[in-house]
């Protein structure tokens, strides 16, 4: 049977492990040729996963992938990675902005250097990669852009505020994800005439991944990583005229569609 992504090129950032790896594998299984990028090319005992491992696992399953390492907090690397993958695969039909860096600390003592790094990774890197992808998508009059966001981007409700909102240190992380959500809506509106869908998606609960575990994000309520990969596949193949500008959370979204 033909896959939903046959004939398409997908670029997935942060694809060495976790959500990015799983989304890349799902798109490849549906026929996409996948460009992979992250900082870690070769296996390293300090980290769980690498671009080489993701590429080899996709190829072992019968898919096709190319990996290019880069640090997307640096604009020169954004340009280089996009150019190299586009030269080898063609300009992407699908762009998944998943790469992230997260520091959890209360705002009264948050270091400016780390705050700038989080804005670079969560806001400016997606902004630039979308800008780079637009010309090819406009030429084809089709395209799918997915930003991986977080439920932490929702505004805390209070007073009184919950103990979690007061003490967990998610203030800066939630701020950059809220900015990414707003960027998603703005791009969706601007690119709607070009047949380009721009959406954002997040797990409803933390997914037990190496990154989440290291930040103690997956202590209690967790969800299967397949929920975000299913959500990503839907949003990366949906009709842009009907599905664009949404910020969705896996479980309500999949229930809406009757998938769970």
Q: Which of 173, 187, 249, 253 is catalytic?
A: 173
Q: Are 240 and 14 in contact (CB under 8 A)?
A: no
Cα gap 245→192, rounded to integer Å: 9
Domain boundaries, the chain: 9-256
Average pLDDT over residues 22-47: 95
Q: What is the pLDDT of residues 108-140, one digit of tens each?
A: 999 999 999 999 999 999 999 999 999 999 999
What's the pLDDT band for 70 if we cut at 50, 70, 90?
A: very high
Q: How much is the mean pLDDT over the chain? A: 94
Whether 249 is catalytic is: no
**Percent of the chain having pLDDT more than 70?**
95
Strand partners, 70: none
pLDDT of residue 222: 83
CATH code of the domain occupying 9-256: 3.40.50.720
pTM above 0.85, yes or no: yes
**b or e along 161-192 (b: 16 or more beta carbons within 10 Å of the residue's beta carbon)?**
eeeebeebebbbbbbbbbbbbebbbebbeebe
pLDDT per residue as tens digits for the range 79-90 = 999 999 999 999
Residue 218 has a pLDDT of: 43
What is the average per-residue pLDDT within 153-163? 93
Distances (CA, A) of 13 to 69, 122, 195: 10, 11, 23
């Amino acid at each position: 049977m033909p896959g939903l992504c046959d004939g398409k090129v997908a670029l997935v950032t942060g694809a060495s492990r976790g959500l990015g790896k799983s989304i890349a594998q799902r798109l490849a299984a549906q026929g996409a040729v996948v460009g992979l990028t992250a900082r870690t090319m070769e296996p390293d005992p300090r980290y769980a996963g690498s671009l080489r491992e993701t590429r080899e696992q996709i190829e072992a399953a019968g898919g096709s992938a190319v990996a290019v390492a880069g640090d997307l907090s640096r604009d020169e690397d954004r340009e280089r990675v996009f150019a190299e993958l586009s030269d080898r695969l063609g300009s992407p039909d699908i762009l998944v902005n998943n790469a992230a860096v997260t520091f959890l600390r209360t705002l009264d003592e948050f270091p400016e250097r780390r705050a700038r790094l989080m804005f670079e990774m969560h806001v400016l890197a997606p902004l630039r990669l979308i800008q780079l992808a637009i010309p090819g998508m406009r030429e084809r009059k089709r395209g799918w852009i997915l930003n991986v966001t977080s439920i932490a981007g929702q505004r805390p409700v209070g007073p009184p505020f919950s103990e979690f909102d007061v003490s967990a240190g998610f203030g800066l992380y939630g701020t950059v994800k809220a900015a990414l959500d707003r960027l998603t809506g703005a791009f969706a509106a601007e690119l709607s005439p070009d047949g380009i869908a721009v959406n954002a998606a997040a797990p409803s609960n933390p997914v037990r991944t190496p990154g989440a575990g290291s930040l103690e994000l997956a202590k209690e309520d967790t969800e299967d990583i397949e929920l975000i990969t299913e959500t990503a596949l839907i949003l990366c193949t949906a009709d842009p005229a009907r599905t664009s500008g949404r910020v969705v959370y896996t479980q309500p979204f999949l229930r809406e569609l009757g998938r769970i």
